[in-house]
Amino acid sequence: DAGVIQSPRHEVTEMGQEVTLRCKPISGHDYLFWYRQTMMRGLELLIYFNNNVPIDDSGMPEDRFSAKMPNASFSTLKIQPSEPRDSAVYFCASSPTIPPDRVFYEQYFGPGTRLTVT
Protein backbone atom coordinates (compact mmCIF):
# COMPACT_ATOMS: atom_id res chain seq x y z
CA ASP A 1 0.00 0.00 0.00
CA ALA A 2 1.28 3.46 -0.87
CA GLY A 3 0.14 4.95 2.43
CA VAL A 4 -1.63 8.26 2.76
CA ILE A 5 -0.81 10.51 -0.17
CA GLN A 6 -0.82 14.28 0.07
CA SER A 7 -0.23 16.88 -2.60
CA PRO A 8 1.43 19.19 -3.04
CA ARG A 9 4.33 18.60 -0.64
CA HIS A 10 5.16 22.30 -0.65
CA GLU A 11 3.00 25.27 -1.51
CA VAL A 12 4.03 28.90 -1.58
CA THR A 13 1.34 31.44 -2.26
CA GLU A 14 0.58 35.09 -1.77
CA MET A 15 -1.83 36.44 0.77
CA GLY A 16 -5.36 36.51 -0.55
CA GLN A 17 -4.95 33.59 -2.91
CA GLU A 18 -6.97 30.39 -2.70
CA VAL A 19 -5.08 27.30 -1.60
CA THR A 20 -6.26 23.70 -2.04
CA LEU A 21 -4.55 20.81 -0.31
CA ARG A 22 -5.32 17.27 -1.37
CA CYS A 23 -5.33 13.91 0.35
CA LYS A 24 -5.80 10.32 -0.70
CA PRO A 25 -6.36 8.04 2.30
CA ILE A 26 -5.31 4.43 2.52
CA SER A 27 -7.76 2.24 0.64
CA GLY A 28 -10.39 0.76 2.93
CA HIS A 29 -9.96 3.29 5.72
CA ASP A 30 -13.21 4.76 6.97
CA TYR A 31 -11.80 7.75 8.84
CA LEU A 32 -9.93 10.75 7.51
CA PHE A 33 -8.37 13.50 9.62
CA TRP A 34 -6.89 16.87 8.78
CA TYR A 35 -4.29 18.31 11.19
CA ARG A 36 -2.30 21.52 11.25
CA GLN A 37 1.15 21.75 12.80
CA THR A 38 2.74 25.02 13.86
CA MET A 39 5.55 25.88 16.23
CA MET A 40 3.23 27.86 18.45
CA ARG A 41 0.28 25.48 18.68
CA GLY A 42 1.74 22.09 17.88
CA LEU A 43 -0.51 19.53 16.18
CA GLU A 44 -4.16 20.49 16.05
CA LEU A 45 -7.04 18.50 14.65
CA LEU A 46 -8.99 20.63 12.21
CA ILE A 47 -11.71 18.26 11.04
CA TYR A 48 -12.38 14.58 10.58
CA PHE A 49 -14.67 12.49 8.39
CA ASN A 50 -16.24 9.09 8.81
CA ASN A 51 -17.47 7.39 5.64
CA ASN A 52 -17.08 10.71 3.79
CA VAL A 53 -19.29 12.59 6.27
CA PRO A 54 -17.78 15.39 8.40
CA ILE A 55 -18.12 14.40 12.04
CA ASP A 56 -16.35 17.16 13.91
CA ASP A 57 -15.16 20.42 12.42
CA SER A 58 -14.77 22.29 15.70
CA GLY A 59 -11.07 22.70 15.06
CA MET A 60 -11.49 24.59 11.81
CA PRO A 61 -10.16 28.03 12.68
CA GLU A 62 -12.32 30.27 10.53
CA ASP A 63 -14.83 30.35 7.72
CA ARG A 64 -11.91 30.78 5.37
CA PHE A 65 -11.21 27.08 5.88
CA SER A 66 -13.35 24.40 4.31
CA ALA A 67 -12.93 20.66 3.81
CA LYS A 68 -14.69 18.18 1.61
CA MET A 69 -14.62 14.48 1.02
CA PRO A 70 -16.55 13.76 -2.17
CA ASN A 71 -15.66 10.07 -2.14
CA ALA A 72 -13.82 7.49 -0.09
CA SER A 73 -10.51 8.05 -1.85
CA PHE A 74 -10.18 11.82 -1.92
CA SER A 75 -10.41 14.83 0.35
CA THR A 76 -9.54 18.49 0.03
CA LEU A 77 -8.78 21.25 2.49
CA LYS A 78 -9.31 24.70 1.04
CA ILE A 79 -8.27 28.08 2.40
CA GLN A 80 -9.83 31.11 0.78
CA PRO A 81 -8.49 33.74 1.12
CA SER A 82 -5.15 32.65 2.57
CA GLU A 83 -3.28 34.72 5.16
CA PRO A 84 0.34 34.62 6.39
CA ARG A 85 -0.80 33.13 9.73
CA ASP A 86 -2.05 30.08 7.83
CA SER A 87 1.56 29.12 7.16
CA ALA A 88 2.01 25.67 8.66
CA VAL A 89 2.41 22.01 7.83
CA TYR A 90 -0.93 20.37 7.10
CA PHE A 91 -1.23 16.64 7.68
CA CYS A 92 -3.84 14.24 6.50
CA ALA A 93 -4.27 10.94 8.34
CA SER A 94 -6.57 7.98 7.91
CA SER A 95 -7.61 5.03 10.01
CA PRO A 96 -9.69 1.93 9.51
CA THR A 97 -12.99 1.25 11.20
CA ILE A 98 -12.31 1.50 14.90
CA PRO A 99 -12.87 -1.78 16.75
CA PRO A 100 -14.81 -1.58 20.02
CA ASP A 101 -11.78 -2.02 22.22
CA ARG A 102 -9.47 -0.02 19.97
CA VAL A 103 -6.57 -2.31 20.74
CA PHE A 104 -5.10 -1.90 17.28
CA TYR A 105 -6.25 1.68 16.74
CA GLU A 106 -3.75 3.73 14.81
CA GLN A 107 -3.91 6.77 12.63
CA TYR A 108 -1.67 6.64 9.58
CA PHE A 109 -0.25 9.99 8.60
CA GLY A 110 0.67 11.37 5.21
CA PRO A 111 3.94 13.23 4.62
CA GLY A 112 2.30 16.62 5.08
CA THR A 113 2.04 19.76 2.97
CA ARG A 114 4.20 22.69 3.98
CA LEU A 115 2.22 25.84 3.23
CA THR A 116 3.89 29.24 3.14
CA VAL A 117 1.72 32.31 2.66
CA THR A 118 3.68 35.49 1.95
Partner 1 sequence: AQTVTQSQPEMSVQEAETVTLSCTYDTSENNYYLFWYKQPPSRQMILVIRQEAYKQQNATENRFSVNFQKAAKSFSLKISDSQLGDTAMYFCAFTPNFGNEKLTFGTGTRLTIIP
Q: By CB under 8 A, name the binding residues for partner 1.
A: 31, 33, 42-45, 48, 50, 55-56, 89, 91, 93, 95, 98, 101-103, 105-107, 109, 111-112, 114
Rounded Cα distance, 95 and 11, in Å = 26
Closest CB 16 distance from partner 1, rounded Å: 27
Closest CB 97 distance from partner 1, rounded Å: 10
Q: Which residue number, 15 or 55, has a Cβ lying nearer to partner 1?
A: 55
Angle among Cα 13, 115, 107 to the nearest 5 degrees reads 150
Rounded Cα distance, 109 and 93, in Å = 4
β-strands 74-79, 65-71 pairing: antiparallel
Closest CB 86 distance from partner 1, rounded Å: 18
Rounded Cα distance, 43 and 112, in Å = 12
Q: Which residue number, 81 or 108, has a Cβ lying nearer to partner 1?
A: 108
